[in-house]
A and B are shown apart, each in its own frame.
Chain A
Amino acid sequence: MTKADLSRVVYERHGGLSNKEASRLVDLILEFIKQGLCDGERVQISGFGTFLVREKKERKGRNPQTGEEMTILPRKSVVFRPSKSFQNGFS
């Protein structure tokens, strides 16, 4: 499923929206989440899950192609914790 498929679902479920508007709304939602994470916020969507920014420490790594050792600088990453109801559907 791609962003286009997601936009189509939004479009089909909601009369009164054009295809283009549906696609703009999907983008808008993703942009808001991104912006929140950028500001260091956690983004909590009930019934879905929480996105949060994690600090990763510096560590030694290897270039998988050359085997050469290198230092991976500290950086941030986004983690997603699915909510209980989302999680439960799979186990």
Chain B
Amino acid sequence: MTKAELIEEVSRVSDLTKKHSEIIVDTVFKSIINALHRGDKIELRGFGSFRIRQRESRKGRNPKTGERVDVPAKKVPYFKPGKELKELINQSQEGLEGAQAQPQQD
């Protein structure tokens, strides 16, 4: 699925023009990016959350030359799927058997 298909779906289900649907879809994703830039965390119930994760610096290798390089510390956007989304994708194929192992509860 691409953004264009997402826009088409939005326009099909709502009464909005494609142009207007595009603006809305863009607004949603841009707002998420902007919030992370402000240092905010985004929590979308039933879907998941976005936040910034700190990656430590590490030694890596240039895969082409094999040469050692320093990979600097950096911040990366991170998405954590919500409970509902996790359950949904695990249900879709194997039915209930795909569910996560549960420890025995006292």
Contact = CB atoms under 8 A, between A and B. Distances in A.
Interface residues of A, number: 57
B10 A25 contact: yes
Given A6-B32, A45-B3, A90 B90 contact: no
Interface string A65-91: 110101111111111101000110111
Contacts, number: 149
B40 A45 contact: no
A73 to B, nearest CB: 5
Interface residues of B, number: 53
A28 B45 CA distance: 13
Contacts of B76: 82, 87, 90
B89 A29 contact: no
Interface string B1-26: 11100100110011000001001110
B24 A73 contact: no
A38 B40 CA distance: 28
A48 B103 CA distance: 37
A5 B32 CA distance: 10
Contacts of B2: 43-46
A14 B6 contact: no
A46 B98 contact: no
Interface of A: 1-3, 5-6, 9-10, 13-14, 21, 24-26, 28-30, 32-34, 36-49, 51, 53, 61, 63, 65-66, 68, 70-80, 82, 86-87, 89-91
Interface of B: 1-3, 6, 9-10, 13-14, 20, 23-25, 27-29, 31-33, 35-37, 40-48, 50, 52, 72, 74-79, 81, 85-86, 88-90, 92-93, 98-101, 103-104
29 contacts: A1-B40, A1-B42, A2-B42, A2-B43, A2-B44, A5-B35, A6-B28, A6-B31, A9-B27, A14-B24, A26-B28, A28-B10, A28-B14, A29-B28, A30-B47, A36-B1, A37-B89, A44-B3, A47-B3, A51-B79, A72-B100, A72-B101, A75-B90, A75-B98, A75-B99, A89-B37, A90-B77, A91-B72, A91-B74
